[in-house]
Structure 1
């Protein structure tokens, strides 16, 4: 039976390398005042948005209204006010009423409500994707034969267009007898989880298999069981790989929800709003961009919410590895 040395081995194998990896970053971080460190991500995000808006206006000012083509291939888009409204016009439209009817809500409020509906569904799909993806990663880590059999199927699954699965999942869900009514949003959540599980499965597999032979042999020397090795070594070592994968899964869940809402016709969400507002492209060109901004904001909120997990896992958070 493994003794207390297993815990000591886990600390030696995981915590010590983590501290060493964090040392340069920690020194650079301490060189900045605490308020600056806290506001730095926000400032970078705002700067990126300002840069994107400036680039939009630059393209609109430089590129001809009919765009630019090489032969029959269009290289740059049209820059007319119908195709590319000014940034100020799009922002101003957010504060105007949704419709011309008296007492209509402002456009930003309608987008916010639709975004809240989509965000709740995306949260459910993210949980489903994390459970399925991490379960597959554990299976592939524990059994080599499962890795050889399952990993190619996991990769192959992402070649199937999501829009092709939407009507199938919706039809299957309506025929299930589970003791409760299968709601349309449940089909959307399942469809979106199809995108969310992939980065978790791949990232968790990379993380769980990241400990080197020396550390695994150390645990074997203490006669540690596979479960003890998983909890004390593999899970802490997987954190730098898993956190980026979870953030990517969150944004993938939002994307999946938007596509699924369009494909299944579920009302009330940001995806359906994008489809409906596209009809106003000629009469109200700034209006269709409002739900697009809302979808971008949803992705940022989802990714930021998952990033908060990193604060709880700071002990094991070394330099993160791209998913």
Structure 2
């Protein structure tokens, strides 16, 4: 964050107010106050009321981040579960890996801007008994769609990482596939899994924000970015407060996932000691 702040203010100090161009092509944005307000101006705007007599901007941004965090958590959990199932199936059955993995990779080439309205249209008629489908559920589906891919690919690579000697040792103990999965493959996959989970968390945040923007779901930070962007010409610092909230939300999600790594990696080391 400090490096980013130094780069921002440094470019604003020396950059061209009309934008830096190379061979007639603009490669860097304009450095004027309308396009790049000072960071302390953005910080001051956080403490001022959103509207005259209203709540301060930081509180509005904080509430929006909490809403998006809840939707992101649902999407992350669902996406992680789907990724686990797919990776396990592909690791267990080679024919499933050959047939499914190309489509898993291909699924990430679909642009979210095109996918979000489709998901909203398909899910509009769904309901869970007396409970109709909610807009935030559509956003959670989009977040899960982005989150499952890194988990599926990363966990698959980890499950396939044990050496042939380790697998043969488990077979010599008459261990079945599922016992080998729990005692050997899954512990060996943890170093691959946690980077994948961090990517999945960041992807879930991106999916939630883009989903809120595309579907018009109110209450989240994505919708707040759109609402504040309408005031970009009259109050540019206000736009960056919402962007700052989205960036901090991504860092928080990545930090929470990193905290989950500590107890599980200690468990992995205990498993390795027992196996040895």
TM-score, shorter chain, exceeding 0.5: yes
Output aligned runs, 1:36-47, within 5 Å: none
- Residue number in structure 1 paired with 2:86: 136
Q: How many matched pairs?
A: 268
Among 303, 309, 323, which residue is 2:260 paired with?
309
2:101 pairs with 1:155: no
Q: Structure 1 unaligned segments of length 5 or more: list them.
A: 1-48, 319-323
Among 128, 153, 169, which residue is 1:178 paired with?
128
RMSD over aligned Cα atoms: 1.1
Q: Structure 2 unaligned segments of length 5 or more: list them.
A: 270-276
Tell me if structure 2 keeps the 8 A contact 1:240–1:317.
Answer: no
1-structure distance, mates of 2:133, 2:126: 7
2-structure distance, mates of 1:304, 1:68: 35
2:237 pairs with 1:286: yes
TM-score, normalising length: structure 1: 0.81
Q: Which has the larger Rg?
A: 1
2-structure distance, mates of 1:64, 1:268: 37
- Residue number in structure 1 paired with 2:47: 95
Aligned structure 1 segments of 4 or more residues deviating by more than 3 angstroms: none
- Residue number in structure 2 paired with 1:23: none
2-structure distance, mates of 1:158, 1:79: 35
- Residue number in structure 2 paired with 1:115: 65
2:145 pairs with 1:223: no
Measured after TM superposition, the shift of residue 64 of structure 1 is 1.2
1-structure distance, mates of 2:105, 2:51: 45
Tell me if structure 1 keeps the 8 A contact 2:190–2:265.
Answer: no
Measured after TM superposition, the shift of residue 203 of structure 1 is 0.8
- Residue number in structure 2 paired with 1:80: 32
TM-score, normalising length: structure 2: 0.95
2-structure distance, mates of 1:227, 1:317: 17
Measured after TM superposition, the shift of residue 317 of structure 1 is 5.5
